[in-house]
Chain A
């Protein structure tokens, strides 16, 4: 993917750029808001990673201007302001996701992957599949190798979320947001506990492991 990182702090900027390059992306790094706006409107990027506080023109204005010019490139905001207000302001300005500093690279990488314009499973799909696992969304029924698996509502939602984003890492904060609707990190092991309960039902009785742990990042269901 071709990614533009707009970040004025050099350490953070090169950390993000280097990490993404290591993952095989093409990355441009810019430090000034105005320059970056020009760059973003003349070059076609797959994703923009924008710091909110920038010299020249702040991140929110950059994205607002871009959206005003019908540029729909997905935007991930980086910020050291983590209040609910800031988050909402960022998302209202046209940001697609929001990451509060300091963040681990795995979190950033997972969110970048989630934002990528890859074909997703459509909402109309009624049966989700991974290997020999089937999830019937209409009948709320999960089977693996023709064995019926009973899931609690929260476990069902967790599995559905992972299945819909097959092949992509979901971090614990992403899961907290999607499954529990909590936008801050309550510092509990609720995600880990539910993942292990889910594994006990979905993976343990069978030969292959579907739900993979990605060290330092999160969880993924293999394609």
Chain B
């Protein structure tokens, strides 16, 4: 199970979520720009309207004939005017003030003023127009709070439209990312298995929808099927070749046998015929191994698997190879547990071949006098079988290679063998769900095979 951290990391790397975030950002920027532009345009037109307003107002007051009349007019008007909205102010030449607010004197024109507190005029910038009239200064100022309010309104619109959009887009992005993440994971998983060598792995169609992901899945499956069939065709061909060649080899063996049985053969011819007979046996053994590897890799039915006592089997093979070891000056030691305690599920004949091949390899590739140890151990529910020797070993960079079919290390080209022994072992171990490892025995080679035990 993946941790939450890993999962969220994978989620944020997923394309749909990234697309969703990018779209939200783009949308936000566009909204901001368009609302900002609208705000500016509207504010501008507001300003103009207000300016026109002020001019008309000012023009109205300018029609007053005298300073006294103007002062009266201002006072009357100011009484019914809310200073928060509009301020009227007339400062006469002799310093008298009329109106509903004080405006500091300044040069003529439009100014934004802030009124001091204390006169009930609270706050806010104003747009003002002043004119010199009858020796005094007349100022009419309109509050800009409407424009200020407009800004707030636009900000609210912006937030109201952006927040839900962002939230919904992100949530949808997450959901889609999750869902497509699962489908992408299915494709990835299948590819991983294929890379690891399980050619039967498939993505399998995700229900219903036809889209780019399902078409990628289909194509991966098609590629895997093509790969699998070409590999199995290759296997079939090698099996066919091996099989078709065995009949003629049988004939050669028959003919050699007949020749060998002729009376009065010269000794030299007899030994030549015997050599030829041994060669055919070698050829047959090679073909037999090739056929067998192909068969095992072609998926042998595991329904026939039965509990096999690895300790008893190892004991038998140590015994079987003891005479050969004696002849070649080797020692075979067995380190085995009590019989019946190392049960694995498998095919006895094939597991026997694993033992035979490993012991034969050790005998073949170590000099006389070397000791070979065959051990079976139980660790928890794992049962390990080890065949180790004190010979020259296999260099670390060659260990992968020796498992390859027909591969032989340069220096062992002169020793007998067909280079199939370890490939056969690997195929059998794989079929039994075991793990094969070649390690250094310091000195020598240690081949270990680990199986799941039968409880």
Q: Interface on A for B, CB 8 Å cutoff?
A: 9, 11-12, 15, 80-85, 88, 100-105, 154, 180-184, 186-190, 192-194
Q: Is the CB of A190 within 8 A of B352?
A: no
A193 CA / B324 CA spacing, docked (Å): 9
Within 8 A of A (CB), among B315-368: 316-317, 319-324, 327, 347-350, 352-353, 356, 360
**Least CB separation from B295: chain A residue:** A83
Stretch at the interface among B69-77, B148-156, B249-257: B249-257
Give the chain A neighbours of B31 by CB distance below 8 A.
none
26 cross-chain CB contacts under 8 A: A9-B250, A11-B254, A11-B255, A12-B251, A15-B254, A80-B247, A80-B250, A81-B291, A83-B296, A84-B300, A84-B350, A85-B300, A88-B304, A101-B249, A101-B250, A102-B246, A102-B254, A102-B284, A103-B250, A182-B316, A183-B352, A186-B317, A187-B285, A188-B320, A189-B323, A192-B323
**Least CB separation from B323: chain A residue:** A193
CB distance from A188 to the nearest CB of B (A): 4
Given known contacts A182-B352, A183-B349, A190 and B324 CB-to-CB distance under 8 angstroms: yes
A83 CA / B349 CA spacing, docked (Å): 10
Q: Is the CB of A15 within 8 A of B258?
A: yes
Within 8 A of A (CB), among B351-392: 352-353, 356, 360
B280 at the A interface (CB under 8 A):
yes
Q: Is the CB of A102 within 8 A of B323?
A: no
CB distance from A151 to the nearest CB of B (A): 15
Interface size bucket, B side?
35 or more
Task: Classify the interface of chain A: helix, strand, loop or mixed.
Answer: loop
A104 CA / B301 CA spacing, docked (Å): 31
B132 at the A interface (CB under 8 A):
no
A154 CA / B247 CA spacing, docked (Å): 36
Q: Interface on B for A, CB 8 Å cutoff?
A: 243, 246-247, 249-255, 257-258, 280, 284-285, 288, 291-292, 295-296, 300-301, 304, 316-317, 319-324, 327, 347-350, 352-353, 356, 360
A191 CA / B131 CA spacing, docked (Å): 133
Given known contacts A105-B257, A154-B319, A186 and B360 CB-to-CB distance under 8 angstroms: yes
Give the chain A neighbours of B320 by CB distance below 8 A.
180, 182, 186, 188, 190
A154 CA / B252 CA spacing, docked (Å): 36
Contact of B251 among A9, A81, A88, A184 (CB under 8 A): A9
Q: Is the CB of B288 within 8 A of A180?
A: no
CB distance from B315 to the nearest CB of A (A): 11
What 19 new A-B contacts, CB under 8 Å, besides A80-B243, A83-B295, A154-B319?
A9-B247, A15-B258, A80-B250, A82-B288, A100-B288, A101-B250, A102-B246, A102-B253, A102-B284, A103-B250, A180-B319, A182-B349, A182-B352, A184-B353, A186-B317, A186-B321, A186-B356, A188-B321, A190-B324
Contact of B246 among A80, A83, A190, A192 (CB under 8 A): A80
**Least CB separation from A51: chain B residue:** B247
Contact of B292 among A83, A88, A192 (CB under 8 A): A83
Give the chain B neighbours of A100 by CB distance below 8 A.
288
Q: Is the CB of A12 within 8 A of B304?
A: no
Give the chain A neighbours of B327 by CB distance below 8 A.
189
Q: Is the CB of A12 within 8 A of B247?
A: yes
CB distance from A191 to the nearest CB of B (A): 9
Given known contacts A9-B251, A102-B284, A190 and B319 CB-to-CB distance under 8 angstroms: yes
Give the chain A neighbours of B250 by CB distance below 8 A.
9, 11-12, 80, 101-103
CB distance from A221 to the nearest CB of B (A): 22
Give the chain B neighbours of A84 by CB distance below 8 A.
300, 347, 349-350
A85 CA / B296 CA spacing, docked (Å): 9
CB distance from A156 to the nearest CB of B (A): 14
Give the chain B neighbours of A180 by CB distance below 8 A.
316, 319-320
Please provide the 7 A-B residue pairs with the shortest distance between their CB atoms, ordered closest to farther: A193-B323, A102-B253, A80-B246, A102-B250, A101-B250, A11-B251, A15-B254
**Least CB separation from B327: chain A residue:** A189
Q: Is the CB of B352 within 8 A of A85?
A: no
A183 CA / B350 CA spacing, docked (Å): 10
A186 CA / B317 CA spacing, docked (Å): 9
Give the chain A neighbours of B323 by CB distance below 8 A.
188-190, 192-194
Indicate the member of A9, A182, A193 with the most B CB atoms within 10 Å: A182
Contact of A187 among B254, B255, B360 (CB under 8 A): B360
Contact of A101 among B247, B316, B349, B353 (CB under 8 A): B247
A105 CA / B261 CA spacing, docked (Å): 11
A101 CA / B284 CA spacing, docked (Å): 8
Q: Is the CB of B295 within 8 A of A85?
A: yes
A44 CA / B250 CA spacing, docked (Å): 29
**Least CB separation from B326: chain A residue:** A193
Q: Is the CB of A188 within 8 A of B288?
A: no
A102 CA / B247 CA spacing, docked (Å): 8
CB distance from B274 to the nearest CB of A (A): 11
A11 CA / B255 CA spacing, docked (Å): 9
**Least CB separation from B288: chain A residue:** A82
Given known contacts A80-B243, A85-B295, A183-B349, A190 and B322 CB-to-CB distance under 8 angstroms: yes
Give the chain B neighbours of A101 by CB distance below 8 A.
246-247, 249-250
